[in-house]
Structure 1
Amino acid sequence: MEELRRLRHLIIDMDGVLWRGKRPMEGLTDFFAFLRRHEIRFVLATNNASRSRMDYVEQLARFGVTVRPEEVLPSCDATAFYLQQIAPAGARVLVVGEQALRAALSEAGFQVVDEENVDFVVVGLDWGLTYAKLARAARAIWNGARFIGTNPDPVWPGEDGLYPGNGATLAFLERATGVSPIVVGKPEPLMFQIAMQRMGAVPETTAVIGDQLPTDILGGKRAGLRTILMLSGATTPSMLAESPVQPDMVFADIRALTAAWEAALTAPDPKECPQRLR
């Protein structure tokens, strides 16, 4: 209860936490109403680079939840931000990924081209992935392009089960080229740093909520934050039991978290209660 009571900022994953596939989790609107009511600030930070922040704003609106664009941080935006820190404006980039990633990089001032003579190869989840795309990316890396991955997620949760994630694509290219990617998304620190800057947060009052142990939970721990695992997505109880990475708190879903948090905030503070006489 004490850990929940002191939280004022959240970095929240979406797929597997707020919805699964196209289905919202039960208690979704109640969860956000709780956060707004108690003035708990949040950033929705997802490793999915295939959708823009406005895609998520619109999806949540269809589910009855209103969020602002600045409260959403997909890894396509984080990747564009990272490249702006290390690359000159106008650098040439080959993208394996969806339109959201291509648009984020273009808006950040980079030339997005489908050629092998490039400065960077940026790889995100690609629904139209083909061997030809992988071969072109591999040749660009062989030619000296720097290899960037939006995220290392091995799987992602769909309505009917798990699917291979972007980490599988990165592993293919790494095995082919012998070059390890620079990964921007969770569990690397950049997304957590951007999210905390947006909220004006400090580690002592911030927690990460996610469904993946090797990304959300490990990344939160690396960033010195409290970690809350949801068992509504990619992690099963047996996976949790066998994992060396352990969260600070575990809940079945956001409905269970909301109920526990509400109880923590309404329960008497033991620090303010007189000591019982023995």
Structure 2
Amino acid sequence: MDGGRTLMHDWQHLRVLLLDMDGVLWRGEQPLGDLPRLFQRIASLNLRVALVTNNATRTPAQYVAKLQRFGVTFPATHIFGSAQAAVAALQQRFPQGAGVYLIGEEGLARAVQEAGFRLTEGNAQAVVVALDRHLTYEKLRRATVLIRQGALFIGTNPDRTYPTPEGLVPGAGAILAAVEAATDTAPWVVGKPAPLLFQLAMGRLDVRPEETLVVGDRLETDILGGQQAGCATALVLSGVTSEAQAKAAEVQPDLIVPDLEHLLSWLETQRRHPGQHIAQ
């Protein structure tokens, strides 16, 4: 497989793939490859899958519907987004019924409400900031006032951009930067690269980190987060990271491949011929 490289790892113990979605499975509404066939190949390797994304705009049910449009049937219980990580963080710090102000979209609002927290624009104990494609100055102003009054500042994820068919566009990290600049307060970021999302997924699938491969397109979130969770990591070049950027980065994955299809081909080779490396 030209253009890839791998570090040493015992791939024979691999049981689970934790896949990012944007930049790995699709870019916007454009699938990256024949997704039904790719999931069939994963099953043929006797591997289980969870989907782990920093995107908090959609609910698991909405991701299930998107996957179905691409011809893939997938359980909502195996989809983990940064909205769930934000809920876990709120549950650590506050009782049910606590007031929360949100900058975000439906996926985040629904997750927070279903966990028993109260959405409010005043007297909030926490402010949770995520990607919001309907962001206004008023939302930024309200978040700033609440945080300066003492509300806990939680960020779902630090992704400054995310890939679309027309190129990179602003992500949650860009909004976090604006709120941080206005409040002089750094957020508690609960999504990747924090290990919480990976830990939630591994707990659901009952696997250990050494049995898990994290697959993503971002070094600073997917790969670093996977490493902090104790997992092997694979970087795909189908999203935001180029091969040159990957080779020059301080964070180095166990494996660099062009896309998910090439990764599965390599794993199939490993099952047949353990220890074979990818040519540089």
Determine if the TM-score, normalized by the shorter chain, exceeds 0.5: yes
1:14 maps to 2:21: yes
Q: Hey, what's the Cα distance between the residues in 1 that align with 2:39 and 2:269?
A: 16
Partner of 2:61: 54
Q: Which amino acid aligns with 1:118?
A: A
Instruction: Report deviation, 1:238.
Output: 2.4
What residue identity is the alignment partner of 2:206?
G
Greater RCO structure (CA 8 Å; 6+ sep)? 2
Q: Percent identity?
A: 46
State the AA in 1 paired with 2:125: D
Match of 1:235 among 236, 241, 245: 241
Aligned mate of 2:143, from 127, 137, 143: 137
Quick one: which of 38, 45, 61 aligns to 1:38?
45
In the alignment, what sits opposite 1:120? 126
Q: Does 1:163 align with 2:169?
A: yes
Contact 2:140 2:179 in 1 (8 A): yes
The match for 1:252 is 258
Other-structure match for 1:197? 203
Does residue 218 of the first structure (1) align with residue 221 of the second (2)?
A: no
**Matches for 1:21-100 after TM superposition, within 5 Å:** 21-100=28-107
Which deviations, in whole Å up to 9, do the C-alpha atoms of 1:214-248 show, x marking residues without a partner?
00001111111101001000111222133111111
SS of the residue corresponding to residue 107 of structure 2 reads: helix
Q: Could you tell me which residue of structure 1 aligns to residue 113 of structure 2?
A: 106
Aligned partner of 2:278 in structure 1 is none
Unaligned residue ranges in structure 2 (runs of 5+): 1-5, 276-280
CA deviation after TM superposition for structure 1 residue 116, in Å = 3.4
Partners of 1:172 and 1:242 lie apart in 2 by 29
Q: Is the 1:81–1:108 Cα contact (8 Å) retained in structure 2?
A: no
* 1:104-128 deviation per Cα after TM superposition (whole angstroms, max 9, x unaligned): 1000000012x23210100010010
What secondary structure sits across from 2:163 in the alignment?
A: strand
Normalised to the residue count of structure 1, the TM-score between the two structures is 0.93
Specify which of 170, 182, 187 is matched with residue 188 of structure 2: 182
Offset of 1:204 from its aligned partner? Answer: 1.3
Aligned length: 269
- Measure the CA separation in 2 of the matches of 1:4 and 1:235: 24
Q: In structure 1, how many angstroms separate the alpha carbons of the residues matched to 2:123 and 2:11?
A: 51
Structure 1, unaligned runs of 5 or more = 271-278
Shifted more, 35-44 versus 63-72: the winner is: 35-44
The alignment partner of 1:247 has SS state of: coil
- Matched to 1:191, the amino acid is L
- Cα separation, 2, equivalents of 1:175 and 1:9: 39
Indicate conservation of the 8 Å contact 2:49/2:78, yes or no: yes
3-state SS of the aligned residue for 2:17?
Answer: strand
Structure with max Cα Rg: 1
Matched residue SS, 1:187: coil
Q: Deviations over 1:20-51 (max 9, x none)?
A: 11011113222211222232122101000000
Q: How far apart are 1:3 and its partner, in Å? A: 4.0
CA distance in structure 2 between the aligned counterparts of 1:258 and 1:208, rounded to whole angstroms? 13
- Normalised to the residue count of structure 2, the TM-score between the two structures is 0.92
Q: What is the alpha-carbon root mean square deviation over aligned residues?
A: 1.6
Amino acid at match of 1:226: A
Task: Return 77-86 or 43-52, whichever deviates more.
Answer: 77-86
Q: Give the whole-Å Cα distance in 1 for the aligned partners of 2:90 and 2:250.
A: 32
8 Å CA contact retained: 2:84, 2:111? yes
In the alignment, is the contact (CA less than 8 A) between 2:42 and 2:264 conserved in 1?
A: no
Aligned letter for 1:86?
Answer: R
CA drift at 1:199: 0.8
